[in-house]
Amino acid sequence: MASPQAFAVILGGGAGTRLWPSSRRARPKQLLSLGGPESLLAAAVRRARAVVGLERTLIVTAADQEAAVRADIPALPRENVIAEPVPRNTAAAVGLGAVAAARRAGRDAIIAVFPADPYIGDEATFERLVRLAVAEARETIVTIGVRPTHAETGYGYLRVGARLPRPPGGDPVHEVAGFVEKPDLPTAERYLASGEYLWNSGMFFLTAGRMLDESRRHLPGLGSLLDAAIAAPNPAAAIAAGYKDVPSISIDNGIMEKTSGLRVVPGEFGWNDVGSWAALPAVRRPDARGNVVLGGATLIDGEGSIVVAEEGAPFVGVVGVRDLVVVATRDAILVVPKDRAQDVRKVVEAAKQAGRTDLL
Amino acid sequence: MASPQAFAVILGGGAGTRLWPSSRRARPKQLLSLGGPESLLAAAVRRARAVVGLERTLIVTAADQEAAVRADIPALPRENVIAEPVPRNTAAAVGLGAVAAARRAGRDAIIAVFPADPYIGDEATFERLVRLAVAEARETIVTIGVRPTHAETGYGYLRVGARLPRPPGGDPVHEVAGFVEKPDLPTAERYLASGEYLWNSGMFFLTAGRMLDESRRHLPGLGSLLDAAIAAPNPAAAIAAGYKDVPSISIDNGIMEKTSGLRVVPGEFGWNDVGSWAALPAVRRPDARGNVVLGGATLIDGEGSIVVAEEGAPFVGVVGVRDLVVVATRDAILVVPKDRAQDVRKVVEAAKQAGRTDLL
């Protein structure tokens, strides 16, 4: 990005039991190396750095994950990791990013908000669309919407409105006709067939000033804290004092669904939110029989299966299974059919009931 | 048993990878607590003790398993654990038991040979049949045959001959018409339907003198070593010097199939050789959905599955599986469909290929 006033705000908090036992409270999904040798967070930082530079790449994370985040991205300037005093969802987290950007470069600074944890397969296309969204963000709030590849019921959608006039040869930019919550299956199928809906990626592009204005209007408790932090001699102290009282709401529900004039850049760039172990073959090339085997695990005569042995885990030997997930860490083992991968929650709940807080 | 000259010879050697990762070279199947709180070996000793007394219960084991056997049965007199200098299969192992019995109580001493590792569910019936077999063994070689419950291809069989005249009211005793090797499935089905075949349990009852005579006749290398050991001032030294040169052959193939006049006591007493993890529900009562869960493992929504977490293993969480085996130890994890439980061998082979001799 040419503009010196653009900042990336990477949202790197979150619990992430869906990839248990690899993901834990203290080691959330974005810190796992699911897509390759680097963590999902490190990949997000690398992509952001290519557009805004490392010195303007900010990470907002949870206080108890701050140390792990710093350790994962040692090259990031210390002041670019912003820890929420308490978790207060994404509206407040983006607000912290807006304060940091505005204090450094004024209210016209653009913030590019990225969730830390999606995998992105086609980074060249992604970077081109991010640059377009950042440029559009001088005028309004912009998002990047993902063209759906299947009738997913686990994501929010947005409806695409009129295409905006732009010079020929570039990627299209549309009005946003509205946000919609996670649909049921028939609705998701209708969305897919219509071609008028995109997955809500959670990426937003806007100026710091616009974020402050929208917060003041729709989430006044947050807005006044952010204003106070910008004016304060010690913004961190101002935030620490008032943050626990701000509303805990997503930026989607708290701001984006209530404001108007949004634009969307539609895109296809191998986006995957790695929402469960079943998604692993989408981000790691499976073998000829559809298996993904990581970390020195042994799979014999398997088909469509996912077998992961983390460093420090026992030797893992799996034979003759089909469409099964087996994940072993040093202290826990998960076995679940691929089509029930979301049921990992039941195991986490059982561990909790058994008093094994060390596994959460 | 009334007779003071009866000894039990429990054959407690053997590698046992079929229950890997719980069973290892250093911790063979008979040392596992598969049927309940005690090991299979401890159960065998307890059953033998009830008939012959602990002081006449002998265990023949492998040199590298001797310490583990002694630790498992601390009450057993030290001299009653006999270690083979090198593994030489069951004919030679029974020979060692015969030498010990003959030296203590003469050639008329009866030896009751029991494999250490089968599970026996109905111990009262078993004890009654053992007492009968011991009594018959004053005259010839006797075995106990197990009435087959299904067309098993993994066991040897014996064909039942004429019923021998005995006082009314007792259990029947038959001639043995012959031994047959492990059959193919159609043959096993024919055996089952005929009612004329029994599973070869590997239990034999004969005098020490008969064992020495049979060895001399059919396995002269073994016979002369046993004769020398009986005559020697230091039998252990005589055995240590010559044992490596005796033929390595089972007592079934080496002696029983070649001799004549054998008798068999047929029986049904919940016998199970626990030949793979799939046999666990036969020796541990499954829950209403056919699951066996041991050692604090967590199974949610499972059916027909076996989930074992040994002490020291990671937390094991399994959800939504059907007919699956999951076994975790401190250092290894096995996952295999129940109907492929024999394929555990492939995993053991893979561990070997990977240089993980610590897991064998």
pLDDT in tens, A226-245: 999 999 999 999 999 999 99
Residues of B contacting chain A (CB within 8 angstroms)? 21, 298, 300-301, 313-321, 324, 326, 328-337, 340, 343-344, 346-348, 350-351, 354, 356, 359
Chain B nearest-CA residue for A333: B316
Within 10 Å of residue B22's Cβ, how many Cβ atoms?
23
Residue A3 has a pLDDT of 52
Question: Kind and range of the H or E element at A84?
Answer: strand A81-84
Min Cα–Cα distance to chain A from B350, Å: 7
The answer to whether the bond into B148 is cis (omega within 30° of 0) is: no
Taking Cα atoms as reference points, which of A102, A105, A117 lies closest to residue A47?
A117
User: Beta strands of chain B (E only): which ranges?
Assistant: 6-11, 57-62, 81-84, 110-115, 119-120, 142-146, 157-163, 174-180, 197-207, 263-267, 271-272, 292-294, 298-300, 306-309, 315-319, 324-328, 332-337
The answer to whether the bond into B21 is cis (omega within 30° of 0) is: yes
In eight-state DSSP terms, residue B223 is H
Residue A4 has a pLDDT of 46
Q: Partners of A83 in the beta sheet? A: A61
The per-residue b/e assignment along B254-284, b for 16 or more CB within 10 angstroms, e otherwise, is bbbbebeebbbbbbebbbbbbbbbbbbbbbb
Angle at A181 between CA A144 and CA A266, to 5 degrees: 20
Residue identified by tokens 């028939």 is A186
- Two tokens at B349? 């082979």
The per-residue b/e assignment along A39-67, b for 16 or more CB within 10 angstroms, e otherwise, is bbbbbbbebbbbbbebebbbbbbbeebbe
Residue identified by tokens 């006033």 is A5
Judged by DSSP in three states, A292 sits in: strand
Which residues in chain A touch residue B299, judged by CB atoms under 8 angstroms apart? Answer: none
Instruction: Let me know how long chain A is.
Output: 360
Confirm if B34 and B274 have CB atoms less than 8 A apart: yes
- Two tokens at B332? 């290894």
Taking Cα atoms as reference points, which of B156, B244, B168, B238 lies closest to residue B201?
B156
Dihedral in degrees, nearest 10, Cα atoms B157, B158, B163, B166:
-90
**Cβ-proximal residues to A317 (8 Å cutoff; 6+ apart), any chain:** A297, A298, A300, B21, B332, B333, B334, B335, B344, B347, B348, B350, B351
Residue B275 has a pLDDT of 87
User: What tens-digit pLDDT sequence spans chain A (360 residues)?
Assistant: 445 489 999 998 776 788 999 998 878 899 998 878 899 999 999 999 999 999 999 999 999 899 999 999 999 999 999 999 999 999 999 999 999 999 999 999 999 999 998 999 999 999 999 999 999 999 999 999 999 999 999 899 999 999 999 989 999 999 999 999 999 999 999 999 999 999 999 999 999 999 999 999 999 999 999 999 999 999 999 999 999 999 999 999 999 999 999 999 999 999 998 889 999 998 999 999 999 999 989 999 999 999 999 999 999 999 999 999 999 999 999 999 999 999 999 999 999 999 999 999
Contact A333/B346, CB-based, under 8 Å?
Answer: no
Question: Would the CA dihedral through B192, B196, B197, B202 be positive or negative?
Answer: positive
User: What tens-digit pLDDT sequence spans chain B (360 residues)?
Assistant: 445 489 999 998 776 788 999 998 878 899 998 878 899 999 999 999 999 999 999 999 999 899 999 999 999 999 999 999 999 999 999 999 999 999 999 999 999 999 998 999 999 999 999 999 999 999 999 999 999 999 999 899 999 999 999 989 999 999 999 999 999 999 999 999 999 999 999 999 999 999 999 999 999 999 999 999 999 999 999 999 999 999 999 999 999 999 999 999 999 999 998 889 999 998 999 999 999 999 989 999 999 999 999 999 999 999 999 999 999 999 999 999 999 999 999 999 999 999 999 999
| Maximum C-alpha span of chain B | 64
How far is the CA of B7 from the CAs of B42, B105, B117, B140, in angstroms? 16, 9, 18, 16
Min Cα–Cα distance to chain A from B335, Å: 5
Contacts 24+ apart (CB under 8 A), B164-168: B164/B263
For an interface test with A, the pick among B335, B343, B358 (most A C-beta atoms closer than 10 Å) comes out as B335
Amino acid letter, residue A129: L
Contact A324/B321, CB-based, under 8 Å?
Answer: yes
Instruction: Let me know how long chain B is.
Output: 360
**Cβ-proximal residues to A71 (8 Å cutoff; 6+ apart), any chain:** none
For an interface test with B, the pick among A319, A334, A342 (most B C-beta atoms closer than 10 Å) comes out as A319
Residue A27 has a pLDDT of 84
Return d(Cα B61, Cα B81) in angstroms, integer.
Answer: 7
Min Cα–Cα distance to chain B from A23, Å: 15
Judged by DSSP in three states, A167 sits in: coil
Residue B17 has a pLDDT of 82
Within 10 Å of residue B287's Cβ, how many Cβ atoms?
12
**Of the candidates A333, A343, A359, which has its C-beta nearest B328's C-beta?**
A333
Return d(Cα B285, Cα A49) in angstroms, integer.
Answer: 60
Which residues in chain B touch residue A317, judged by CB atoms under 8 angstroms apart? Answer: 21, 332-335, 344, 347-348, 350-351
Which residues in chain A touch residue B328, judged by CB atoms under 8 angstroms apart? Answer: 314, 333
User: Beta strands of A281-358 (E only): which ranges?
Assistant: 292-294, 298-300, 306-309, 315-319, 324-328, 332-337
Residue identified by tokens 């005559």 is B231
Domains along the sequence of chain B with CATH: 6-272 (3.90.550.10), 277-359 (no CATH)
Judged by DSSP in three states, A3 sits in: coil
Which residues in chain A touch residue B311, judged by CB atoms under 8 angstroms apart? Answer: none
Contact A346/B318, CB-based, under 8 Å?
Answer: no
β-pairing, B142-146 with A332-337? unpaired
Which residues in chain A touch residue B314, judged by CB atoms under 8 angstroms apart? Answer: 313-314, 328-333
**Cβ-proximal residues to B99 (8 Å cutoff; 6+ apart), any chain:** B208, B226, B229, B230, B235, B239
Dihedral in degrees, nearest 10, Cα atoms B91, B93, B99, B105:
-100
Judged by DSSP in three states, B56 sits in: helix
Interval A134-179: pLDDT, tens: 999 999 999 999 999 999 998 999 999 999 999 899 999 999 999 9
Return d(Cα A18, Cα A341) in angstroms, integer.
Answer: 8
Taking Cα atoms as reference points, which of A299, A115, A106, A135 lies closest to residue A199?
A115
How buried is residue B107: exposed, middle or buried, by Cβ count under 10 Å (0-12/13-18/19+)? middle
The per-residue b/e assignment along A216-250, b for 16 or more CB within 10 angstroms, e otherwise, is eebbeebbebbeebbeeeebeebbeebbeebeebb
Question: Kind and range of the H or E element at B99?
Answer: helix B89-105
Chain B nearest-CA residue for A356: B315
The per-residue b/e assignment along A102-138, b for 16 or more CB within 10 angstroms, e otherwise, is bbebebebbbbbbbbbbbbeeeeebbbbbbbbbbbbb
User: Beta strands of A147-262 (E only): which ranges?
Assistant: 157-163, 174-180, 197-207
Residue A15 has a pLDDT of 66
β-pairing, A157-163 with A174-180? antiparallel
How far is the CA of A78 from the CAs of A12, A72, A74, A279, in angstroms? 15, 12, 9, 33
Judged by DSSP in three states, B20 sits in: coil
Chain B nearest-CA residue for A340: B320
Residue identified by tokens 């002696």 is B255
Question: Would the CA dihedral through A292, A273, A191, A146 be positive or negative?
Answer: negative
Confirm if B343 and B323 have CB atoms less than 8 A apart: no
